[in-house]
Chains A and B, each alone.
Chain A
Amino acid sequence: MFYREVGQFKTNYTADSQVFPILQDKLGIIAMLVIAYLIIPLAGNDFFITTVMIPFLVFTLATIGLNILVGYTGQLSLGTGAFMGVGAYSCYKLTTIFPDVNIIIMVLLSGFFAAAIGILFGLPSLRIKGFYLAVTTLAAQFFLEWAFIRIPWLYNYNASGAIEVPQRDGFGGVVLAGAAAEPVTRYLVVLSIVLAMTWVASNIIRGRIGRSWMMIRDMDIAAELMGVRPLYAKLSAFAVSSFYCGVAGAMGVFFWLGAAEVESFDINHSFLFLFMAIIGGLGSLIGCYMGAAFIWILPIIIRALPGALGLDINAATVEHINFMMIGGMIIFFLIVEPHGLARLWQIAKEKLRTWPFPYS
């Protein structure tokens, strides 16, 4: 009933091949944008914006990056955390070398450094497949972690080995990065970058390049026979994926954390993003949002529940309960729907279309 497209006639091919062909979808998106751009900045408190929304958006972007590689091109990668680190460290170097350039430009530029490193570590993918490729990307993870510790030039010879975000203004004196930046400002910057990059990703994926990735994923030999060059397809996937991860890493440090050590880019984060991609749904952009929300926001809600309900449970117990609940829910969701939350949503939409009178 809710998703009936009755009466919505398409009179040309452009209208028929839109990203959101149904009116309800369009309205839904507009409602979401209103919530994201108006209601959250106006109604959300600092805690909600800085520790829920900003990291959620940053993680979503990193998951989109990983999903391009794993979900769309079928190349398993465990180096997401390190590629984010490349973005973060290069953004830090760029902005300390050129302090007057707008930080948003620097964040986007730092993606190119991550892309270059991604291509370099993507080269083995031409010969290695599946789990074996995962091992070589693991090498990238370890090598880059080592580099972030051992090359003091990367963190400007700071005694603590951490990168600390200097204050950066833009757009006529608005503080964009640094401790003095308003949470709402940072949130709007992150939101705009993530939405714009999601839009770009959806267009790349629907276009020629994205189709060649999916051909490689589904059967690389057949794709090669039909004229897809694996060298370009695989390396472009690595480049675009690392670009996204790099921008996410730079945003994470400059708009969320404010300072970072190598532990913010360690192997656990790589796993975290892989879980987000798998739980959200491989090969789905909406799934990236859902996966990031599931892994990042749900634990925060569970942690806040006892306090909100007035129960006096000590913090460590809450944390243990949290681990158990999240673990249990991951297993539950993967049993109910191995293709992730995105697929669950799709099934729900199909059900809603015929509700309350399904055909059979």
Chain B
Amino acid sequence: MKKLLMTGVAFATLAGTTFTAAPVAHAEDTMFVPSLSYRTGPFASGGTPLANGFADYFNMLNARDGGIGGVKIVVEECETGYNAQKGVECYESTKGKGALVYNPYSTGITLQLIPKAPVDKIPVLSMGYGLSAAAIGEKFPWTFTYPTSYWSQLSSILKYIDAEGGIKGKKIGFIYLDVGYGKEPIPLLEQLAKDQGFEIALFPVGVKEMQNQGSQWLNVRKERPDYMVMWGWGAMNATAVKEAAKIKYPLDKFIGNWWSGAHADLRSVGEDGKGYKSANFSGIGTSFPALQDVIKHVVDKGGSQVASKDLVGDVLYNRGLFNSVLIAEGIRAAQAKTGKKVITASDLRDGFEAFDLNEARLKELGLEGFTAPIKGSCKDHEGAGSVFIQQWNGKDWEKISDPIAPDTAVVRPLLEAAADQYLSDKPEWQTQTCG
């Protein structure tokens, strides 16, 4: 060891003074919502439309209504690159600015933030991803998975298969990205296979082989499953559909989850992907009045980061927008409950449990038919939302089913067991509860 063992430390101290000296850059009457986005890295094709929709809706509210309850929303993006370590860095760098809620858009980052949420008293809204067990509100008071969890979604997809001609005795192939996200629904799948009497075959796809799934699909050809269900993300989706088409697997028996059915995925496949289905919970296209407002107030005025106007209304754009709708509704509910205009993160947590996004409210928001109604409650942090099935027609997605409610009777006890298991080694969590 030589002199200045810790030159780095000195260097860092300098940096530290810059950070502490940086002024908090927003005035009294705004609320701050950080957006953990990923416009770079291997999953940028999914992250970009999500971040665009997320920011555009809030900007539309600011431009059209002057914010929520007269308070403007400041959205600040922090680039995570879908990387858990950078995600935590973003969390730490933005939480001091009065962040109301975190939307990590990555199961890996969500898992890191769940234990931090009750300590920092900032809710995590992992909209349809993250830890399924977080749907149990009494056990996870600070985490929300509106509109439904992965497990509930899987039960909806299986219900759809069941309605198409019975699931008993069938063989269901499950192709998934071999990370936390893809493995998440497997325990439920195994349980349901036992209960409902179908067979399963698992086909993991490693992150490195996302674009080279030849061997997995060779196995699919060998196993001949009656249906294929996919838990994919990013480049994996397009490759899987292409490979399925190549081995002449009937695409109308191939159903992806809600992260496996975006325009960005299927545009590159085009006509070959015709017939492929996926789950979804946010409306397709721009025919909704709220979307028109976004175009009028934000996109046409150059306030959006979308590359072209055609991309507004894409599946993932609308998903990001829907995320903002949920937060906006939560903020409104919190404002109504507390009587304050500028709410805090823990007020928003209460707001998430109090909001009621029913048909009438959706119509008021200009989102009639956009999604199934969701009602927040202390007990149920997935809001009993439903998914519908959409199908790729070669050029665009078409909604082909009504909302399918999850099989709550089956899923809920399993979720509770998973929540108990999660809590079993966290004594400090045993005492907390919602409401």
Contacts and interface: CB of A to CB of B under 8 A. Distances in A.
Interface of A: 19-20, 22, 24-25, 28-29, 32-33, 35-36, 39-40, 43-48, 50-53, 55-56, 60, 96, 99, 149, 159-162, 164-167, 178-180, 198-199, 202, 257-264, 284-286, 289-290, 292-293, 297, 300-301, 303-304, 307-308, 310, 314-316, 318-320, 342, 345-346, 349
Nearest to A198: B1
Contacts, number: 202
Contacts of A25: 2-3
Interface string B78-96: 1101011100110011011
B10 interface: yes
B8 A292 contact: yes
A184 B347 CA distance: 28
Interface residues of B, number: 65
B78 A300 contact: no
B27 interface: no
A259 B6 contact: no
Contact of B119 (A161, A164, A179, A293): A179
Contacts of B114: 259
Contact of B4 (A28, A162, A258): A28
A20 B6 contact: no
Interface in B9-48: 9-13, 15-16, 18-22, 25, 37, 39-40
A56 B83 CA distance: 17
Nearest to A152: B183
B193 interface: no
Given A160-B184, A310-B25, 17 more contacts: A24-B3, A32-B9, A33-B6, A45-B19, A45-B96, A53-B12, A56-B8, A96-B425, A159-B186, A160-B183, A167-B426, A180-B119, A286-B4, A289-B8, A297-B8, A304-B18, A315-B76
Given A258-B112, A293-B12, A286 B183 contact: no
Contacts of B131: 160
A5 to B, nearest CB: 12
A66 to B, nearest CB: 16
Interface string B292-326: 00000000000001000000000000000000000
Given A261-B84, A261-B179, A315-B39, A160 B107 contact: yes
A32 B426 contact: no
Contacts of B37: 315-316
B111 A261 contact: yes
A8 B400 CA distance: 86
A-B interface, 10 closest residue pairs, ranked by CB to CB distance from nearest: A293-B8, A316-B39, A25-B3, A179-B115, A315-B77, A315-B79, A32-B6, A160-B180, A48-B16, A289-B8
A149 B22 CA distance: 42
B5 interface: yes
A162 B111 contact: yes
Nearest to A146: B206
Interface of B: 1-13, 15-16, 18-22, 25, 37, 39-40, 76-79, 81, 83-85, 88-89, 92-93, 95-96, 107-108, 111-112, 114-116, 118-119, 131-133, 178-180, 183-184, 186-187, 207, 305, 418, 422, 425-428
Contact of B428 (A161, A167, A262): A167
A263 B93 contact: no
Nearest to A342: B2
Nearest to B116: A179
Nearest to B14: A301
Contacts of B132: 159
B22 A308 contact: yes
A202 B116 CA distance: 37
A36 B8 CA distance: 10
A301 B115 contact: no
Contact of A161 (B7, B19, B180, B207): B180
A342 B1 CA distance: 11
A47 B40 contact: no
A360 to B, nearest CB: 25
A50 B12 CA distance: 12
A303 B184 CA distance: 33
B92 A51 contact: yes
Given A32-B4, A45-B96, A167 B427 contact: yes
A199 B85 contact: no
Name which of B9, B20, B180, B187 has the most chain A CB atoms within 10 A of its CB: B9
A50 B89 CA distance: 8
Name which of A165, A293, A349 has the most chain B CB atoms within 10 A of its CB: A293
A28 B22 contact: no
18 contacts: A35-B6, A39-B13, A47-B92, A48-B12, A55-B85, A162-B111, A164-B115, A178-B115, A261-B179, A263-B179, A264-B84, A286-B1, A289-B7, A297-B12, A304-B19, A314-B77, A315-B37, A315-B39
Given A96-B425, A160-B131, A308-B18, A51 B88 contact: yes
Contact of A316 (B13, B20, B40): B40
A161 B96 contact: no
Contacts of B108: 162, 261, 263
B11 A258 contact: no
Contact of A47 (B9, B96, B179): B96
B137 to A, nearest CB: 19
A258 B116 contact: yes
B234 to A, nearest CB: 13
B124 to A, nearest CB: 12
Contacts of A52: 12, 15-16
B93 A162 contact: no
Name which of A32, A164, A198, A259 has the most chain B CB atoms within 10 A of its CB: A259
A53 B116 CA distance: 19
Given A40-B16, A316-B79, A257 B4 contact: no
Contacts of B8: 56, 60, 289-290, 292-293, 297
A235 B119 CA distance: 44
Contacts of A345: 2, 4, 7
B110 to A, nearest CB: 9
B65 to A, nearest CB: 23
A320 B40 CA distance: 8
A255 B23 CA distance: 29
B88 A160 contact: no
Contact of A304 (B25, B93, B179): B93
Nearest to A155: B180
A286 B84 contact: no
A349 B95 CA distance: 41
Contacts of B89: 51, 300
A293 B7 contact: yes
Contacts of B422: 164
Nearest to A316: B39
